[in-house]
A and B are shown apart, each in its own frame.
Chain A
Amino acid sequence: MTTVYADYAAAAPVRPEARAALLEALDAGLGNPSSIHGAGARARARLEAAREQVAAALGAHPLEVIFTSGATESNNLALVGVTDAANRSCSVAVPATEHASVLAPARALTARGHRVTILSVDGSGRTAPQAVADAAPDLVSVALVNAETGVVQDVAALTAPVRERGGIVHVDAAQAVGVWPVDCATSPIDLLTVSSTKLGGPAGAGALVVRRGTTLVPLQRGGPQEQAFRAGTENVPAIAGFATALAIAVGEQATEHTRLRTLQEQLRAGLAAAWPGLRYTLASTVAAAPHVTHCTLPDVAGEDVVAALDLTGVAIATGSACAAGAAQPSHVLLALGRSHDEALGALRISLGWASTAADVDAVVQALAHVRTRIRVRGERAA
Chain B
Amino acid sequence: MTRERIVVAMSGGVDSSVAAALLLEQGFDVVGVSMQLSSTPAATVRQGQGCCSLEDFRDARRVADHLQIPYYVWNLQDAFRTRVTDVFTAEYLRGRTPNPCVLCNRDLKFDELWRRAGALDAELVATGHYARVVEQEGRWRLLRARDDAKDQSYFLFSLTQTELARTRFPLGDLTKTEVRDYARKLGLPVAEKPESQEICFVPDRDYAGYVERHAAAAELSPGAVVDEQGTTLATHAGVHRFTVGQRRGLGIGDGVARWVTRIDGTTGTVHVGDQRALACRGLVAEQVRWAAGTPALDGDGPVRVRIRHRHVPVAARLTHTGNDRVEAWFEEPASAVTPGQAAVFYRGDEVLGGGWIAEAL
Contacts and interface: CB of A to CB of B under 8 A. Distances in A.
A375 interface: yes
A325 B121 contact: no
A88 interface: no
B113 to A, nearest CB: 8
B294 interface: no
B61 A307 contact: no
A370 B34 contact: no
A304 B54 contact: no
B36 A326 contact: yes
A238 interface: no
B91 to A, nearest CB: 23
B331 interface: no
Contacts of A381: 111, 114-115, 118, 162-163, 166
B51 interface: yes
Interface stretch (B69-77, B264-272, B300-308): B69-77
Nearest to B5: A311
B50 interface: yes
A328 B158 CA distance: 30
A303 B118 contact: no
Q: Which of B61, B72, B119, B121 has the most CB of A within 10 A?
A: B119
Interface in A303-324: 303-305, 307-308, 310-311, 322-324
Contacts of A322: 36, 39, 51, 75
Interface string B39-80: 100000000001110100100010000000010111100100
B93 interface: no
A37 interface: no
B260 interface: no
B119 A323 contact: no
Sorting the interface of chain A by its residue count into under 10, 10 to 19, 20 to 34 or 35 or more gives 20 to 34
B98 to A, nearest CB: 22
Contact of B75 (A328, A374, A375): A328
Contacts of B120: 304, 307-308, 311, 373
A375 B121 contact: no
Contacts of A380: 111, 115
B190 to A, nearest CB: 16
A305 B34 contact: no
A373 B121 CA distance: 7
B119 A370 contact: yes
B116 interface: yes
B31 interface: yes
Contacts of B54: 323-324
Interface in B135-188: 162-163, 166
A379 B51 contact: no
A308 B31 CA distance: 11
A382 B119 contact: no
B231 to A, nearest CB: 50
Most buried by A among B34, B50, B57, B120: B120
Contacts of A328: 75
Interface of B: 31, 33-34, 36, 39, 50-52, 54, 57, 61, 70, 72-75, 78, 111, 114-116, 118-121, 162-163, 166
Given A325-B61, A381-B166, 4 more contacts: A301-B74, A324-B51, A373-B118, A381-B114
In order of increasing CB-CB distance, the 10 nearest A-B pairs are A381-B114, A326-B75, A326-B36, A374-B119, A325-B73, A324-B57, A326-B73, A307-B72, A308-B119, A304-B119
